[in-house]
Amino acid sequence: MRKVNATLSITLDGVVQGLGRPDEDTRGGFTHGGWGGKYNDDVMAAEMSKSMSNPTDMLFGRRTWTDFITVWATRIDDNPFTTRMNTATKYVCSRTLENADAWQNSILLSGDAAETVAKLVTEDGRDLTIIGSVSLVRDLHAAGLVDSYTLLIHPLTLGTGRRLFEGSAPLTEFELTGSVTTTKGVIIAHYTRL
């Protein structure tokens, strides 16, 4: 059975929206986009490189997949992130996309995300890594399909923005299986569902 790991950058008050760029996700009038950049350092890069070196397939929600296309699909620089993103099999969950042809090695999972991913994890194949895609993560968490989380907990609060868990989430217990603190105070915590 395939496992699902969700990797998310999060603030102390639970915000996951708009980490990378000011224009990344302005839904709801969010004005704090790009909050994560000043926290990058060599420790974080090394930890993310370790994670990206694991041979997993990728799993995306439509919005994140579409955004990642603009960042990764046309890059030709020689670094492990670009190579990994472009060569990995990428499953994209969407009710609106007609195809996933815009980015190489992408496969469309149409319909209800929890149903399609529940079927996917029973098939032979590599484990699945989700980067971002908070709406997808929420749906899969509610269906009991997220096996582990890697949370990059940033030392700031934003007060507004989309949070990892908005509304109700089922009682789920996790074990801390590892953690690293970066030089800029980000705690990279690895949790596995009990």
Antiparallel, parallel or unpaired: β 90-94 and 57-61: parallel
Residue 144: CATH number of its domain? 3.40.430.10
What is the C-alpha separation between 73 and 62, in angstroms, rounded? 15
Average pLDDT per block of 10 residues along the chain, 194 residues long:
97 96 94 96 93 90 93 76 88 96 96 97 97 95 97 98 90 97 98 98
What is the C-alpha separation between 62 and 158, in angstroms, rounded? 25
Q: Is the pTM of this model over 0.75?
A: yes
Kindly provide the residue ranges of all beta strands, DSSP E only, lying in the chain, ordered along the sequence. 4-11, 57-61, 90-94, 106-110, 128-131, 148-154, 174-181, 187-193
Residue 72: the pLDDT is 83
| SS3 at position 34 | coil
If phi > 0 it is left, if psi is from -120 to 50 it is alpha, else beta; for residue 30 that is beta
Q: How many domains does the chain have?
A: 1
Containing structural domain, residue 107: 4-193
Question: Can you count the helices (H) and strands (E) in the chain?
Answer: 5, 8
